[in-house]
A = this chain, B = another copy of it.
């Protein structure tokens, strides 16, 4: 059974394509009679308009794309991504847009961008961002960036990673800790933090700023940096490495909750008492509140970030020009995973 098109209806109902199109899109300018007859035959023939043809004609799709830096499974398993997407989705739903998840296509982010039939993109924590920007510009649809180094003439949404990180570290220092490990998200830089980009860069800066207020710095002995995969397993593994080394720390400051929780689990498995190792995370994922001890961490407004990103993009799509770079605040959430030294 071939697809029935607007032509078939026109023929069967005895009108032209134009009239049929009107019956669907501007019924008010047609006599009721006509509309009814057309809608009836459409119903009868089982007609469903073709969204692609419509887009072809109107020049827009009613869809926005979220550009993922990695495969969908890798990204969506980050516990804060759903909350971010909820924010984006809220605005989309409100404005009648649908959402497309756009991971690299056969390994190529360029191909992904070129293939996605969307009215605009939200990019999420891009890595190879310079090359990607070129492709995006070329693609010719509006886009905005989230969680990457902002670009002059492109709207951007970021959080105040630096302040958040600084507060986290300060809190640990205030509790008297002086043997500290910074648990960083593995980058391509293998610990060369001077070369960190975007989020990693800002968080690292925050940690260092706090240390410096106490006259401290990375010293390969008491204060050290260690990188791990941004997963529960990565956190656990890193913890084992840390604990095996000489000069055990009394506190760990992690760049992500999921790593912090992994580390804490590893510690529990090794029968290390809660008080022996203080921990502070980053992100405030839902699980952070429910683990035991509940994780002290830096909260960021994931949902609001998504909302703002979507609103900015839709505005841009609607032709408004506002290249503001927004920076949303973070907040230190005190729970039970940081202990005073010597208690």
A residues adjacent to B (C-beta < 8 A): 3, 46-49, 51-53, 55-56, 61-63, 71-73, 76-77, 79, 81-83, 85-90, 92-93, 96, 98-106, 112, 114-117, 135, 137-140, 261, 286-287, 290-292
CA distance A318 to B180 in the complex (A): 56
- Between-chain CB contacts (< 8 Å), 15 pairs: A48-B138, A51-B116, A52-B55, A52-B61, A72-B85, A72-B86, A72-B92, A77-B82, A77-B86, A98-B102, A99-B101, A100-B101, A101-B101, A117-B117, A287-B290
Contacts of A93 in B (CB 8 A): 71-73, 103-104
* Chain B residues with CB under 8 A of A71: 89-90, 93
In Å, the complex CA distance between A93 and B56 comes to 26
Q: Give chain B residues whose Cβ lies under 8 Å from the Cβ of A96.
A: 105-106
Residues B48 and A114 in contact, CB atoms below 8 Å apart = yes
CB distance from A228 to the nearest CB of B (A): 19
Residue of B90, B98, B103 near A112 (CB, 8 A) is B98
User: Nearest Cβ distance between residue A135 and chain B, in whole angstroms?
Assistant: 8
A51 and chain B: residue at smallest CB distance: B117
